[in-house]
Every structure is written in C-alpha cells, then in structure tokens.
Copies of this chain bind each other. A is one copy, B any other.
Amino acid sequence: MTLPAPKLPHYRRLYEMLRKQIIDGVFTEDDLLPSENELCAIHGLTRPTVRHALDALVNEGFIGKHQGKGSIVQKLPKGIGILSIAGTTSALGGKNLRSELLVKPYVKAWDDPFMFKLSETELNSGCIHMERIRYYNDKPIFYDINFIPNINVPRFTSRSFENNSLFDVLRNAYQVEIKGGEQKIRAIEASATISQHLAVKSGHPVLHLERKFDTNKPGFFIYSSIYCNTEEQAVYGIF
C-alpha cells in the first residue's frame, strides 16, 4: 500500500474537493451544486472531466443528478457497514453515545481458528487486536473486537481511538476506505464474559456479528466481532 500520488488526476481532485465541501456542510441536503458549465469555468476543465467527477459523487450517494434541473445534494450517505442504534443518526458523536477502549491496540498472531478464511499474506503479517465498549446513556450496548491485518499501517498501535471512528482513522491516516463486506449474524445466550461486558444476565439473548470489511486496497480486509445488547434498542445498519 503506497502513499497517494502527489498529483491526482483532475477529475479526482474535483471529486475530492466537492466531496469535502459536502461533508463540511458547504453544500447541504437539497442544495444545488454549481452547474457542470459553471464547474468547467471555475476549474478550467471540460465537461467530460467534470461529469466524471460528478458521476463518482452520484455513485457514492452524495448527489443526485436531475436532467434539466441540476445536481442536487443528498443526505450524507451513512457509512455502509457502520452499526448504530436505531433512532440515532450516527454511530458516535451523539450526546448519549460514547466509546471506551477496553484493550489498547497491540500486535498478535491471528486467533486459530479465525472466523473468516485468511490469505497467506494476512496469516504472515499478524493482526492488530483491539477491544472497545460502546455505551448509550451510560449502558454498555456494543462489545467490539477488531482485527486489523498488520500490513502497511505504521504506528497504528500508538493512535488514540476513544471517541474516534476506527474507519475515520483508517481513511484519514492510511487512505483505507470501507467498501462493504460480509457478516455472519447469530442470536446467542450471553456467556459469563459477555454478560459481564454488556451488563446483562448470563444466558440472556445477545446479538453476535462476525464481520469482514472490504476496502479500497486489494487484498486488505478488516475483521470485527461484535456483541450487542439489543434489549432496549435494536442495532441499526446500512447494507
């Protein structure tokens, strides 16, 4: 995984700029973006190049194009793969949501057996293991165990993750983006350990998800095992 090229293609620069403007709130839902012709004039680019950038924004769910009318900003796409609490709008950041690092990231060999089949490269690199508890209204609702292949993620173990999205860190510091993934879901009876972490009675039903995230880096996946207490709130996810 190399550092990004210092020179991005024109269409990509425009795409990143517009994307950032939407995320930063410069354009918000239902706003019209500058027209294709305006963007050509502003950036000294041609329509096919501008359209290429806009197509990418459409594909990622940031805007919708309407012939004759313009490019309209949509509600910020909720991250595919991010779990939250039904009824809240973000995984973290709401006043009643907070996250606590239970086990700081450290490098270890993969658990054997592991929940998903691993490639040779992954097996040889070991993984970074970390555990977090997420609280809603001071009640533990998620017990989250992450396994990140120790491939090209220098100084990962020294980063701070409390109240930070793991995915944001990966995107901003390592240019790793989540593209989707697969998951195995079970309803299980809470074991002694799980009931301790999630503050439920032993034997109480809890949700268990084993997830494998695809990223924009070929061959680089992120793994996660999550236990959830859904007694009061359902777990919410986009797929």
Contact = CB atoms under 8 A, between A and B. Distances in A.
Contacts of A234: 184-186, 210
Contacts of A86: 184
A238 B237 contact: no
A48 B182 CA distance: 34
Interface in A59-83: 59, 78, 80-81
A238 B206 contact: no
Given A48-B48, A205-B188, A183 B236 contact: yes
In the complex, the count of this chain's copies comes to: 2
B185 A239 contact: no
A180 B189 CA distance: 30
A207 interface: yes
A48 B183 CA distance: 37
Contacts of A207: 185-187, 207
A230 interface: yes
Contacts of A206: 187, 205
A209 B189 CA distance: 17
A79 to B, nearest CB: 11
Nearest to A189: B205
Given A59-B59, A80-B239, A184-B236, 6 more contacts: A78-B182, A81-B239, A186-B230, A187-B188, A187-B206, A187-B208
